[in-house]
Amino acid sequence: MSESIIHVTDSSFEDEVLSSDKPVIVDYWAEWCGPCKMIAPLLDELADEYKGKLTVAKINIDENQETPQKYAVRGIPTLMIFKNGEIAGTKVGAMSKSQLSAFVDSLIEPVSKSGERR
């Protein structure tokens, strides 16, 4: 796993995610979840590619049940992007690298009026 990924818990979620000065994508996962294991390498790549622009965090829902309940996580993997302490976007289920990158880019990259990324 990438050294750029942080592991958060119910007790550290506020400090590491909600109070972050940059966007954070949170992966709600569990050890027994096959699709979670499928996207894990993609999140490693994402953490390295977006280093400095985005924090990648993982929270194990079996060990931390308060946070997933608070954010109404019903299925895993669930990916949520938080900006300024608020949910900016949510995706449920496994996805390809291009889908994951498009999801992140649509929420963290400012778009100019001409539609081009800045």
Catalytic annotation present for 83: no
Tokens linked to 6: 């942080």
Q: Kindly name the residue from 33, 46, 54, 94 that is annotated as catalytic.
A: 33
Q: Kindly name the residue from 8, 36, 61, 95 that is annotated as catalytic.
A: 36
Q: Half-sphere exposure of residue 39, counting CA atoms within 13 Å on the CB side?
A: 29
Tell me how far CA of residue 100 lies from CA of 44, 53, 87, 104, 108, in angstroms.
12, 15, 16, 6, 12
What's the rounded Cα separation, in Å, for the pair 69 and 39? 22
Could you give the residue ranges of the DSSP H alpha helices within 31-72?
Answer: 34-49, 66-70
Catalytic annotation present for 21: no
Catalytic residue list: 33, 36
